[in-house]
Structure 1
């Protein structure tokens, strides 16, 4: 694929040229690599003197463009869930003497296509098709299978193009067969995005530290509403927070009594803390009078979906703010259990998976009985390469590209150095790197909260974590950790405090035996306490003789007086717990001579 470089300049006032100043119209059969966000590629197409259909990855972008005063006279029409083919037909009928400017989600493209067919209009010959933020085709292909649906039609258009500031290489051979070119926008000036990378083993605690230093409007980019809700609750910022997320997530948050959740962004809904999920990472124009602080968070123990890709997500998230940002942070942890794979290793895996699939498919095609075909059919369904096929059973190159992209991203979160190296490979970033270690980390939290570990294993982990927190320097943070552990398992926490790690382990975490040990220790502590001993010494004297009856009555009185519950029934023999004695016979009655104090 040929690559053309187009340079873009910055004037003496620091203003960067718009794309239309260097590329008035996007050429057909082009993958446009903008390099910088906010150059106005979509704006230019909406203003272009041709019929346009623009596929946008998410609804908020479409709503934002359609409501933008800059496009008031541009005849824009948005197509997404809730907009139907009939609505598109009405729009086309009203647009007979105007340029068609349709913005649609990938999932709703079929409505546009159907409307053109019903109107007997040639969609492929009369419209320019632009796929905006084309990296999303690859990034989202694993959980949004329908995002690739327009692509069979895409290649049928006479004029079409893809655009992104952060494109990902496509393996689909149709790009080569249709002689696509790449146009790369290259700034003539140094362009760097300052970003502070903070690697930590405890994302929440590090976030608390950073928030304590900041006194600005903060925009979080976190691709997990469960994680967002957890942070809001634990940071106690519910009244100061707003969440922008998908419709289902809005409903989920509201079911948890969090009301400030919206599926469309609006400046009026923003608060001090603003949380955005991945549907807001791309294409959306957020225009504010102030420059917010941007904090991206990746907690791979909480959710692997929270992994921020330095080559796409990070650039796109920062680029949402058209008037710039105050500062940018990426707080992240890593997991050494995530597999590390090279591109070559991934390619070998995919090639062998394909060969295995094709071999079983041949057996299926050649099977001589329905039973055999059924067996092979079921085998085909569970083969790894089956996930790389579309609904028609054809090779889905975008699913393959997605698999490669995800595998490489996971590899970068195996350790700190891998992710930092990934950032360094992108010349757009100016990095400031630091690390923060805490005695209680995200891995420990995961083990404590694991749904799959046995009760015994969970209790082992609680004891292990309490050992980590042991020491004289008990900060507020450590006290909070201990409170978490106490709430997680009050019994084992109390046992640890009472009898310690070694005793618990020697008892093999047996609840019955641990309880017995705790009772014995508590009993010993009470009976060896100062008040109890003083009362014993006050009532009994070494060298004196006492009848068993007197001993029983006096010990009963002392136990009652101190509120201590005896382990065994009190008898005259009970005195031997406190004294070495000698049994003697005087005057026809048997008594105990107290020889020496034991306690």
Structure 2
């Protein structure tokens, strides 16, 4: 088996009793096959940027390989051609254990195919070990690569992912690679040689758009299609948020890439027709939305595309780590992008704790909790009383499998997940830290502060006048800052559609009048109708005058003409919850015209208009 080595000299080499550390500085367009002949064994590689050819290097390596990749969607993009056929010498391991064909896998591993490449997710790695293929051959003659290795830590919601490490360390030849690596605390990984790729220039430019209300700002962007010459790819880790963004902007040419499950489809509701199975050329639209399932690991080929990632410190699912998940998302495009945009807010707190300090305090806490739990288990076992379930739950996040009768030991990988979450979370403490996170990832950064007003939250059961008050305050802020708000008029779309008539009242009456009447919906309705009637009556007068000028018109005909004109121009009764046309009478002509003559002709009253 080839073991892999570098083929250019590193800029810096540090040799310690623990490992060797190599640093290379290259141009942004150089790929890994110009640095290594194959991925070195027992190493952890910081490849510096996405799309530099890490997976490709292992696929082309003259050795049997197991390539562990975070998601099946990414595996599909690596293992199948454009027609859906599995590539030569490739094999994909996935599916439920009870349905898996172990014999077929074992046959593939044992046949005379050269340089086999088996792909699996971390959760499926155990199937290979249980296939019946001789473990001695597996562990000593196969190379295993943890691709996008940071995901084992950043995807903390995937509990079974960490089980892969039980198999990983049994291999003699193993490595980990990522564009956004994590500093693992496990001593076995710390003993790996490290290879760090740096660049002699920026790998791209990113616009950080800072705003308190990120979804509102996203809306102004989505309603400005002329700003984008090609497609737009939006990384927004919330199916509900995606659905709301599409509805608010009234988008039609769009695609949604997320997990295909009942919960997500119910959330999309009438938009589920926009769901696409996987991101590929035939499935893209003008606007493309992705949840975290597609933040990393796949290749986008879309020249002049705009990529946007959304963060919000106020929503847990939108607090993706900048230095890993956000960098991965905006690193998808293998063609030159038109723009890279990060829409975000921050806590405006200038506090940042060093990684080492977070690591030390987290491990102290973990050890203390574990010691407390083990003492409790010891006492419950010796004194024959049941273990406290609450104590069991408190220790689960720090250790491996918990039972009520056995002491536990610390899991470095679980603790690493906590450390990573806490460290990345503080990147959002201040705009300066957000900028630094992108700069450390070799991006040229520009920052703009973007004003958008806060979108009011209006509960269904709120008192009507309170709803009106919130809406008027929002509309006032929009109106007073119209020069600073891009797509000013479209921002009204964030207000509840069933209260759209309040916008009409606001535009007709103005906020001062609405405030004067304490936002009383009935009084404002009456004032609104009266104001509209005043405008409409001008058209009524014009039309009536054209029809009956210098003519004697009977009372009934005058009334009928007015009634038809009231309906035509929307003259309404000012009172009442139900909107109905105002009832016309001939006598109303005296309020419409200055000169109205009422005389008797043949013993019947007639009405004559000689001037307006």
- TM-score normalized by the length of structure 1: 0.72
| Secondary structure of 1:182 counterpart | strand
In structure 2, how many angstroms separate the alpha carbons of the residues matched to 1:451 and 1:121?
65
Q: Unpaired segments of 5 or more residues in structure 2? A: 1-17, 403-407, 535-571, 577-612
Look up the match of 1:389: 399
Q: What is the DSSP-based 3-state SS (H/G/I as helix, E as strand, rest coil) of the residue aligned with 2:221?
A: helix
Q: Does the aligned pair in 1 maintain the 2:370–2:398 contact within 8 Å?
A: no
Structure 1: how far apart are the matches of 2:99 and 2:437? Answer: 44
The answer on 1:437 being equivalent to 2:444 is no
Partner of 1:169: 183
1:282 aligned residue: 296
| 2:146 aligned with 1:135 | no
* Shift in Å, 1:490: 8.0
SS at match of 2:118: strand
Given that 2:313 and 2:345 are in contact with CA atoms closer than 8 Å, whether structure 1 keeps it comes out as yes
Distance 1:414 1:251, change over 3 A: same
Alpha-carbon spacing, 1:410–1:257, altered in 2? closer, same or farther (3 Å): same
Partners of 2:106 and 2:227 in 1: how far apart? 54
Note if 1:198 corresponds to 2:209: yes
Q: 1:358 to 1:64 in 2, by over 3 A?
A: same
Instruction: Give 2:116's aligned residue.
Output: 100
In 2, Cα distance between equivalents of 1:261 and 1:519 = 46
List gaps (5 residues or longer) in structure 1.
Answer: 506-513, 531-561, 567-599
Query: Cα distance, 1:197 vs. partner?
Result: 1.0
Contact 2:370–2:409, Cα closer than 8 Å, also in 1: no
Match of 2:250 among 222, 230, 236: 236
Partners of 1:451 and 1:372 lie apart in 2 by 50
CA–CA distance in structure 2, aligned partners of residues 471 and 294 of structure 1: 31
Matched, 1:366 2:376: no
* 1:115-130 equivalent positions in 2, closer than 5 A: 115-116=131-132, 122-130=137-145
For residues 319-368 of structure 1, the C-alpha deviation after alignment (integer angstroms, 9 at most, x for no partner) is 32223322211122234699976543574255235414422431331237
Q: Is the 8 A contact 2:219 2:245 kept in 1?
A: no
Cα offset, 1:453, TM superposition: 9.6
Task: Name 1:401's counterpart in structure 2.
Answer: 416
Alpha-carbon deviation of 1:154? 1.0
Q: 1:58 aligns with which of 40, 54, 71?
A: 71
Aligned 1:54-93 pairs, distance under 5 A:
54-68=67-81, 74-81=88-95, 86-93=100-107
User: Tell me, what secondary structure is at the counterpart of 1:130?
Assistant: strand
> Deviations 1:157-176 (Å, cap 9, x if unpaired)?
11111011110111122324
**8 Å contact from structure 2 (residues 49, 441) kept in 1:** no
Shift of residue 389, structure 1, vs aligned partner: 2.2
Q: 1:73 to 1:463 in 2, by over 3 A?
A: closer
- For 2:409 and 2:316, how far apart are their aligned partners in 1? 29
Q: 1:2 offset after TM fit, Å?
A: 3.2
Aligned equivalents of 1:181, 1:74: Cα separation in 2: 32
Aligned pairs (5 A) from 1:195-234: 195-201=206-212, 202-208=216-222, 211-234=225-248
Give SS of 1:259's match.
Answer: helix
- Aligned partner of 1:576 in structure 2 is none
Aligned-pair CA distance for 1:198: 0.8
Q: Give the match's secondary structure for 2:272.
A: coil
Cα shift at 1:194: 0.8
> Residues 242-391 of structure 1: matches in 2 within 5 Å?
242-248=255-261, 251-252=265-266, 255-288=269-302, 290-301=303-314, 303-335=315-347, 343=355, 344=357, 347-348=360-361, 351-352=364-365, 354-367=367-380, 372-374=385-387, 377-383=388-394, 385-391=395-401
Q: 1:349 to 1:163 in 2, by over 3 A?
A: closer
Q: Residues 412 and 459 of structure 1: is their aligned pair in 2 closer, same or farther, counting only changes over 3 Å?
A: farther
- Aligned-residue offset at 1:412: 2.3
Q: Is the 8 A contact 2:472 2:511 kept in 1?
A: no
Corresponding residue SS for 2:288:
strand
Secondary structure of the equivalent of 1:89?
helix
| Residues 470 and 504 of structure 1, relative CA distance in 2, 3 Å threshold | farther
Spell out, residue by residue over 1:409-444, the C-alpha distance to the aligned partner (whole angstroms, 9 max, x if none).
Answer: 2222234333223323x1501011111112x22xx4
Question: Do structure 1's residue 152 and structure 2's residue 169 form an aligned pair?
Answer: no
**CA displacement at 1:400 relative to structure 2:** 1.8
Structure 2 vs 1, CA of residues 139 and 87 (structure 1 numbering), >3 Å: closer, same or farther?
A: same
Change in CA separation of 1:237 and 1:366 when aligned onto 2, cut-off 3 Å = same
Matching residue of 2:552: none
CA distance in structure 2 between the partners assigned to 1:28 and 1:54 by the alignment = 13
Q: CA, structure 1 residues 85+295, in 2 after alignment: closer, same or farther (shift >3 Å)?
A: same
2:12 pairs with 1:2 = no
Write the distance in 2 (CA, Å) between the matches of 1:471 and 1:148. 53
How far apart in 2 are the matches of 1:72 and 1:486? 49
- Report the more deviating stretch, 146-155 or 63-72: 63-72
**How many pairs align?**
501
Mapping of residues 515-554 of structure 1, within 5 Å: none
Other-structure match for 1:181: 193
Aligned mates of 1:212, 1:31 — CA distance in 2 = 44
The normalised TM-score by structure 2 is: 0.70
Task: Write the deviation string for residues 108-145 of structure 1: whole angstroms up to 9, x where unpaired.
Answer: 1122221145x6764222311110000111110x2111
CA deviation string 1:546-595 (max 9, x = no partner):
xxxxxxxxxxxxxxxx98889xxxxxxxxxxxxxxxxxxxxxxxxxxxxx
Taking the aligned partners of 2:121 and 2:184, their CA distance within structure 1 comes to: 20
Give the aligned partner of residue 23 of structure 1: 36
User: Following the alignment from structure 2 to structure 1, what is the Cα–Cα distance between the partners of residues 320 and 66?
Assistant: 30
> Are the aligned partners of 1:5 and 1:186 in contact in 2 as well (CA < 8 Å)?
no
Residue of structure 1 in register with 2:608 after alignment: none
Helix, strand or coil at the partner of 1:232: helix
- Provide, for residues 490-525 of structure 1, a one-character-per-residue CA deviation record: whole Å limited to 9, x for no partner: 8999899697558759xxxxxxxx68xx669969x9
Q: Name the counterpart of 1:39.
A: 52
SS at match of 1:258: helix
Report if aligned partners of 1:125, 1:158 keep a CA contact under 8 Å in 2.
Answer: yes
Q: 1:467 to 1:217 in 2, by over 3 A?
A: closer
- Does residue 112 of the first structure (1) align with residue 124 of the second (2)? no
Kept in 2, the 8 Å contact 1:8–1:22? The answer is no
Are 1:135 and 1:166, in contact at CA under 8 Å, matched by a contact in 2? yes
CA RMSD of aligned residues (A): 4.1
Task: Tell me how far apart the structure 2 counterparts of residues 520 and 306 of structure 1 sit (CA, whole Å).
Answer: 40
Is 2:425 the partner of 1:413?
no
Flag the 1:194–1:476 CA change in 2: closer, same or farther, 3 A. Answer: closer
